[in-house]
Amino acid sequence: MESIIQHIVAKYKKILEEGLEASITGKEISKLSKSVHEFTDKIGTEIFEQLVEAVDKIIFEDQKRKVEYEAIRISGRTLLVENGKSKFERRYYQDKQSGEYIYLADKILGIEKGERIDKNVTAKAIELAGSVSYAKAGKNAVASEEVSRTSVMNRIRKNELKVEPKELEDKREVEYLYIQADEDHYKERNKGSSISKIITIFEGSKIVSKNIVPGSQVRKELTEKFTITGVYDQSEDMWLEAANYIESKYNLEKIKKVYISGDGASWIKEGLNWIIKSQFVLDKIHLEKYILKLNFNEEKQRHLRNAIEQFDPISVENILTSVEGGLRWEIQVKVAKGQDIKIETRRLKKATEAKTYIINQWEGIEIYETDKDTIIGCCQEAQVSHVLSERLSTRPMAWSKDGADKMSKVRAFLENDGDVYGKIIDISTKEKRDKRIAQLENRVRRNMRRTMFGTVGTKIPELQASRDELYCEIKELLNIKVS
pLDDT tens digits, the chain, 483 residues: what are they?
555 566 666 666 677 677 766 766 666 677 777 777 777 888 888 888 888 888 899 899 888 989 999 999 999 999 999 888 999 999 999 999 999 999 999 988 888 888 899 989 999 999 999 988 889 999 888 877 888 999 999 888 887 787 777 777 789 999 999 999 999 999 988 888 899 999 999 999 887 666 555 555 667 788 999 999 999 999 999 999 999 999 999 999 999 999 999 999 999 999 999 999 999 999 999 999 999 999 999 999 999 999 999 999 999 999 999 999 999 999 999 999 999 999 999 999 999 999 999 999 999 999 999 999 999 887 878 888 888 888 898 877 889 999 999 999 999 999 998 888 888 887 776 555 567 777 787 878 777 766 665 544 434 344 445 445 555 655 565 454 444
Name residues whose C-beta falls within 8 Å of residue 235's C-beta, 6 or more positions apart in sequence.
Answer: 197, 266, 267, 270
Are 211 and 312 found together in one domain?
yes
What is the pLDDT, as a whole number, of residue 194?
Answer: 92
Judged by DSSP in three states, 72 sits in strand
Are 54 and 196 found together in one domain?
no
What is the pLDDT, as a whole number, of residue 483?
Answer: 41
Are 340 and 434 found together in one domain?
no
What is the pLDDT, as a whole number, of residue 211?
Answer: 57
Contact between 433 and 169 under an 8 Å Cβ cutoff? The reply is no
Domain membership of residue 299 as a residue range? 176-416
Give counts: helices (H), strands (E), the chain: 20, 10
Domain presence at residue 338: yes
Domain presence at residue 18: yes
pTM, full prediction: 0.79
What is the pLDDT, as a whole number, of residue 457?
Answer: 41
What is the pLDDT, as a whole number, of residue 18?
Answer: 72
Which of 416, 444, 465 represents a domain boundary (last residue)?
416
Are 305 and 354 found together in one domain?
yes
Domain presence at residue 119: no
What is the pLDDT, as a whole number, of residue 34?
Answer: 77
Domain presence at residue 250: yes
The side-by-side arrangement of strands in the sheet containing 84-95 is 69-81, 84-95, 101-102
Domain presence at residue 127: no
Are 477 and 341 found together in one domain?
no
Are 245 and 347 found together in one domain?
yes
Domain presence at residue 381: yes
Would you say the C-alpha torsion 63, 67, 73, 78 has a positive or negative sign? negative
10 Å Cβ neighbour count for 26? 8
Are 392 and 272 found together in one domain?
yes
Are 180 and 93 found together in one domain?
no
Are 204 and 300 found together in one domain?
yes
What is the torsion angle, in degrees rounded to the nearest 10, for the CA atoms of residue 136, residue 139, residue 141 and residue 143?
A: -140
Element (DSSP H or E) covering residue 228: strand 226-230
What is the pLDDT, as a whole number, of residue 165?
Answer: 76
Which of 416, 439, 472 represents a domain boundary (last residue)?
416
What is the pLDDT, as a whole number, of residue 307?
Answer: 96
Please report, as a single letter, which amino acid is at residue 433: R
Are 77 and 185 found together in one domain?
no
Domain presence at residue 279: yes
Are 374 and 298 found together in one domain?
yes
Name the domain count of the chain.
2
Which of 416, 442, 458 represents a domain boundary (last residue)?
416
Are 394 and 437 found together in one domain?
no
Whole-angstrom Cα distance, residue 198 to residue 226? 11
Domain presence at residue 192: yes
Helix axis angle, 420-428 to 119-129, nearest 10°? 130
